Structure 1
Amino acid sequence: MTDSATSDGLRERKRAATRSAITSAARTLTAERGLNGYTVEEVCEAAGISRRTFFNYFPTKEDAIIGHADDDIPSDIIEEFVAGGAGSPAGQISPTLFRDLVTLSLRLAEDMSASEEDTRQLIGVVRKEPQLILRIIGVTEQREAQFARDVARREGVAADHPVVQMAVVLLSTIARKSSMAYFSDGNTRSYPDLLLENISAASVLFSQPFNTPDTTAAEGQS
């Protein structure tokens, strides 16, 4: 690794730590006082930053509460996933895509315990300030669009390739369903266990034989 790459990595880790500190402070203050019960200056004081630094990272308090899309998936894990498709010809879906998507999902699940308290805090904040749901939807769409670009880059196809789009929709839906079950009241199962159960269910469903229905007869009768 070059000195430049090392410097860039350190710089990005520092930026990620600053983003995390701002988000944590904003969520804590929102949980305590509500969205309109504190100022940006109070977030800055709690995070140990200047007002200028805050706005270098987030345009509003609402954005700070939700967090940054770049912090969703660590870049080293994504690059490892992308490298897994290097052995396949560009433009052809690699035979290990599904397997590697499952592996990627489990790698990300390993971080669940580390971020669990943050997630629970965000759930509590959204329950208190439900208007934040629209912001979450927006960030989720950004993250899914980036994930599609990463899958497409691995496979050497366009981001709107139907297999890429299905991979994003399927994995995002499974992750969402697993998270809802994990954070539900009374749950005693681990997130990886729930995730694997849902992935297995989807695998069983999609492994069933499928023949494209012949619609020509129906069209002729209409």
Structure 2
Amino acid sequence: MTDSANPDPGLRERKRAATRTAITAAARDLTSARGLNGYTVEEVCEAAGISRRTFFNYFPTKEDAIIGHAEDDVPADVIEEFVAGAAGSPAGEISPTLFQDLVTLSLRLAEDMTESEEETRQLIGVVKKEPQLILRIIGVTEQREAQFARDVARREGVAPDHPVVQMAVVLLSTIARKSSMAYFSDGNTRSYPELLLENISAASLLFSQPFDSTASAAAEGNA
């Protein structure tokens, strides 16, 4: 078979990702200019240079196109590098480098977020204009967190509902959201990685303090 008959899967996925990005950019531009109800799917297609059929192959509605796909913000190669970090640890045991590798992963993703800062600011502006989109964002965020839990679980060789996996997802997601809110706030002059590391360090300091689970249980029993 020729190369054209059996295209590189990586190239095919990059083309798909580029198409998704073009559709999302067009939908956000039109929403910023006219509001959510001020344009049609056909106009999104024209702006993105695609057919109506192609649009619906990627997104079911304009609202979904504005928010984008859950996987678009997380490069597969970065995730696979993170998963490979526990290769030397026994499956089913939490690896000793999990926390450090989670911090490294967060910083790698922060680099990508900085590169797409203008798109993020555009989305913030669109959501301010059309606040009903918040529910869509919550839905995509839940999908991303569920996938993150699966990735951490795959790395550690445990189930996605393992308490350490769940806490990793909750804490890192919360820290990332808090850092993003501070970074995109009016008047901020600090970099996103700086804010992210500050918040991770604060959480690390808090959870490094002694904790006596038996004393806490006794206090609960006496309440």
What is residue 11 of structure 2 aligned with on the other side?
10
Matched, 1:204 2:205: yes
**Counterpart Cα distance in 2 of 1:21 and 1:112:** 17
SS of alignment partner, residue 119 of structure 2: helix
**CA apart distance, 1:214:** 5.0
SS of alignment partner, residue 111 of structure 1: helix
SS of alignment partner, residue 110 of structure 1: helix
**Counterpart Cα distance in 1 of 2:74 and 2:110:** 11
Query: Compared with structure 1, are the counterparts of its residues 113 and 37 closer, same or farther at alpha carbon in structure 2 (3 Å cutoff)?
Result: same
What is residue 82 of structure 1 aligned with on the other side?
83
What is residue 168 of structure 1 aligned with on the other side?
169
- Kindly report which structure 2 residues correspond to 1:24-173, keeping only aligned pairs within 5 A, or say none: 24-173=25-174
**CA apart distance, 1:101:** 0.1
**CA apart distance, 1:215:** 3.5
What is residue 192 of structure 1 aligned with on the other side?
193
**CA apart distance, 1:122:** 0.2
What TM-score, normalized by structure 1, do the two folds share?
A: 0.95
- Kindly report which structure 2 residues correspond to 1:209-220, keeping only aligned pairs within 5 A, or say none: 209-212=210-213, 213-216=215-218, 219=221
Q: Aligned AA for 1:207?
A: S
**CA apart distance, 1:112:** 2.2
Q: Aligned AA for 2:203?
A: A
- Structure 1: which 4+ aligned runs deviate by more than 6 Å? 3-6
**CA apart distance, 1:30:** 0.2
- Contact 1:72–1:143 at 8 Å: present in 2 too? no
**Counterpart Cα distance in 2 of 1:188 and 1:95:** 35
Query: Compared with structure 1, are the counterparts of its residues 89 and 204 closer, same or farther at alpha carbon in structure 2 (3 Å cutoff)?
Result: same
What TM-score, normalized by structure 2, do the two folds share?
A: 0.95
Query: Compared with structure 1, are the counterparts of its residues 158 and 65 closer, same or farther at alpha carbon in structure 2 (3 Å cutoff)?
Result: same
Unmatched tracts of structure 1, length 5 or more: none
What is residue 178 of structure 1 aligned with on the other side?
179
Unmatched tracts of structure 2, length 5 or more: none
SS of alignment partner, residue 116 of structure 2: helix
Q: Aligned AA for 1:66?
A: I
**Counterpart Cα distance in 2 of 1:164 and 1:172:** 12
**Counterpart Cα distance in 2 of 1:6 and 1:90:** 35
**CA apart distance, 1:57:** 0.0
Query: Compared with structure 1, are the counterparts of its residues 173 and 45 closer, same or farther at alpha carbon in structure 2 (3 Å cutoff)?
Result: same
Q: Aligned AA for 2:96?
A: P
**CA apart distance, 1:113:** 2.3
**Counterpart Cα distance in 2 of 1:111 and 1:217:** 46
> What is the aligned-residue RMSD (CA, Å)?
1.6
**CA apart distance, 1:194:** 0.3
Query: Compared with structure 1, are the counterparts of its residues 191 and 5 closer, same or farther at alpha carbon in structure 2 (3 Å cutoff)?
Result: farther
**CA apart distance, 1:114:** 1.4
**Counterpart Cα distance in 2 of 1:156 and 1:203:** 24
Q: Aligned AA for 2:37?
A: N
What is the aligned-residue identity percentage? Answer: 84
**Counterpart Cα distance in 1 of 2:91 and 2:219:** 39
**Counterpart Cα distance in 2 of 1:187 and 1:107:** 21
Matched, 1:20 2:32: no
SS of alignment partner, residue 210 of structure 2: coil
**CA apart distance, 1:217:** 7.0
Q: Aligned AA for 2:84?
A: A
